[in-house]
Amino acid sequence: MKHPFQAIPHRQKKSALLILTLLTVLLLFVMNWIGVPLITSIAPAGIVSFEFAGNALRVEEILNSWDHWAQLFASLSLGLDYLFMLVYSSAIALACVMAGDALLSMRWLLPSLGVPLAWGQWTAALFDAVENYALIYILTNGVFSPWPEISRFCATIKFTLIALGMLYSLYGFIGHLANRQQRKMIDLSHP
């Protein structure tokens, strides 16, 4: 199974990853700023508390802890999240592809996980989209099952896939740094 990011030349992958990472961080900063009014004693993690509420009673408690403006900020955050999901999922997917390539060239363990985990990031974005739809439905139509349950289910899958992709990318990056250090040591020992 191939991933479209495998077709990008190596030098362009680095530039693309840098741009996607910077966009991810910028959007994350903006979304965290928008999310400040959503942090309450009932929703200590703001929008994430809303995502993981899981049942109508808990959602009602969260919504009651938010004033009208906070609920508008929640709507804005959910709308902006559709752009964010495209950016973060592509950044992590590209990092997974690059990690797989690096691990393969170094003959480290698990190089073949890069492509499936890259596809997993785009799958995470699809779960994120469904989760957002459920939350927007709740904000606009009221709290009804199964929307809180759908949101929690999708958020759980999304965050699991993202965590796996980030851990794998970190593993590949550490391997890349170790390989670079090893090559430097070899170059120094052979003048």
Question: Is 112 a member of any domain?
Answer: yes
User: Given pLDDT bands bounded at 50, 70 and 90, which one contains residue 187?
Assistant: low
18, part of any domain: yes
Under 8 Å between Cβ of 91 and 24? yes
Domain hosting 143: range is 10-185
pTM, full prediction? 0.89
- Residue 118 or 184, more confident: 118
d(CA 139, CA 100) in angstroms, rounded, equals 41
Residue 133 vs residues 62, 79, 127, 189: alpha-carbon distances, Å: 18, 10, 10, 59
Q: What is the pLDDT of residue 190?
A: 63
Higher-scoring residue by pLDDT: 176, 36: 36
User: Residues 124-133: pLDDT tens digits?
Assistant: 999 999 999 9
Q: Which residue has the higher pLDDT, 70 or 1?
A: 70
How confident is the model over 47-55, as a mean pLDDT?
97
In a domain, residue 67? The reply is yes
The count of domains in the chain is 1
Nearest partner of 47 among 84, 75, 14, judged by Cα: 75
Closest CA to 172 of 91, 85, 105, 87: 105
Q: What is the tens place of the pLDDT at every residue in 52-66?
A: 999 999 999 999 999
Task: Give the per-residue pLDDT at 184.
Answer: 64
Residues 94-114: tens digit of each pLDDT = 999 999 988 887 777 887 899
Quote the CA–CA distance of 125 and 84 in Å, as a whole number.
9
Q: Per the domain annotation, does 2 fall within a domain?
A: no
Please report the sign of the dihedral spanned by the C-alpha atoms of residue 104, residue 117, residue 80, residue 71: negative
Gap between the Cα atoms of 58 and 54, Å rounded: 7
